[in-house]
Amino acid sequence: MSSPARGGGAPEDQGAGGEPGVEQGGRGTWRHAAFHVATTIATPAAYAPLPFAVASLGWPLGVCSLVIGTLVTWCSSLVVASLWQWNGEKHTSYRLLAKSIFGPWGYWYVSLFQQVASVGNNIAIQIAAGSSLKAVYKHYYTSDDGAMNLQQFILLFGAFELLLSQLPDIHSLRWVNAICTASTIGFAGTTIGVTIYDGYQINRKEVSYSLQGNTATKIFRAFNALGTIAFSFGDAMLPEIESTVREPVKANMYKGVSAAYMIIVVSYWTLAFSGYWAFGSEVQPYILSSLTAPRWTIVMANLFAVIQIAGCFQIYCRPTFAHFEERAQANKRSSRSFLWRVMYTSAYMAAITLISAAMPFFGDFVSICGAVGFAPLDFVLPALALLKTSKLPNNLGLQCAVKVLSSAVAVLFSIIGALACIGAIRSIALDVKTYKFFHDM
């Protein structure tokens, strides 16, 4: 197990590189891996802003960005899966894998960005879950007198997640995530169907596809959109998921990742393009807010969204929980103590719920999380890891091509991450000026 290193270095990995909260010796099948990967990537919070992102970029750039994002992250996921045991040792977390390749700086690089990605993702999807619960509630309770507000639904969702947080590891979530994967398909199918239905009800001559706002607004919205697309493919937990898979681990993980991406490609592209086609430049940052009829299907889509988010939230809790468990081990406290687990999961949920309720700016958190958290982990680091480990084809021509492509991906997505971060910070600053804290969106 890991323990604090002397002199401020990364914790030492012992044996097979295990760490708290990660199952040692996988039992999951490739289907379980597909459930976990699909649950962490294909969330309603990832689907829902894609039409708005495409609308912020326009048809040519929006389509190209989404297609390139899909191909790069699929390849990056396969690269990370292939490196899980690259030096003969099993690396059960992204942090330990990065340390084995890059040394201590790799450990702390991943620790920082994984926490940003995990916490930012959970803030964004808790806002989305609260919004979906409120939408279902408003369908049945139309009076404004005594109506529940968004913050109350965020609090209810947080309480439910606190209960799920008592499950010990990712493998224990496999059936939760199987249900969530089914809900992902249900959400995508329902939302796409209603979007196309609404699109045909609208007078097509009134739908505009031109970019909105002045020059500065167009530029910053485009930056924001790039962060949103990066968020939509975010998966900072692949080594942790791979550690739950049985032998042959790599083959099962390749199948699981590819199966998950088949779902992602069909659903992401269809929803993104149909949403922009249906509503044009007027599409909302959360696509469900643009839908109007039939109302029962909108209720169903929102329920699918809440179910799927419940599982995704749990996957992204785990890196933070692992840090708490490391501290417990360092202090000779049992990391499996029920009381200790209730204490740190309660503290985590209280912090996430408070931020979500105070600043329910869904689109802004999606963009900044994609820019600062997922772009470094899902685009930049896998490309650098491939170059560092020299896991390249034997053919000299292919070697050169892989090196050039990997270098280009690392540089390009570092720039995109920086631009997206600028756009997201500007949007948050504008929203804070426009809305009060704890605003009922």
Is 4 part of a structural domain of the chain? no
Tokens read off for 252: 């099962």
Confidence of residue 74 (pLDDT cuts 50, 70, 90): very high
CATH number of the domain that residue 404 is part of: 1.20.1740.10
Q: Which domain holds residue 106?
A: 30-317+333-434
Judged by average pLDDT, the poorest of 75-79, 253-257, 262-266 is 262-266
pLDDT at 425: 84
Is 148 part of a structural domain of the chain? yes
Residue among 288, 364, 315, 310 at smallest CA distance from 134: 288
Residue, of 330 and 79, whose pLDDT is higher: 79
pLDDT at 14: 42
Tokens 């930056």 belong to 223
Residue 22 has pLDDT above 70, yes or no: no
Residue 242 has pLDDT above 80, yes or no: yes
Whether the model pTM is above 0.75: yes
pLDDT at 32: 85
pLDDT at 407: 92
Is 3 part of a structural domain of the chain? no
Residue among 111, 73, 125, 9 at smallest CA distance from 323: 111
Residue among 261, 110, 232, 240 at smallest CA distance from 172: 240
Is 327 part of a structural domain of the chain? no
Provide, rounded to the nearest whole percent, the portion of the chain with pLDDT above 70. Answer: 90
Is 410 part of a structural domain of the chain? yes
Mean pLDDT of 354-361: 82
Is 15 part of a structural domain of the chain? no
Is 16 part of a structural domain of the chain? no
Overall number of domains in the chain: 1
Contact (CB, 8 A) for 84 and 242: yes
Q: Is the dihedral of CA 230, 308, 119, 171 positive or negative?
A: negative
Judged by average pLDDT, the poorest of 94-108, 166-180, 270-284, 374-388 is 166-180
Judged by average pLDDT, the poorest of 278-282, 332-336, 389-393, 394-398 is 332-336
Can you tell me the distance from the alpha carbon of 188 to that of 44, in angstroms, rounded to the nearest whole number? 8
Mean pLDDT of 168-186: 79
pLDDT at 6: 35
Is 210 part of a structural domain of the chain? yes
Confidence of residue 334 (pLDDT cuts 50, 70, 90): low
Residue 155 has pLDDT above 90, yes or no: yes
Residue 204 has pLDDT above 50, yes or no: yes
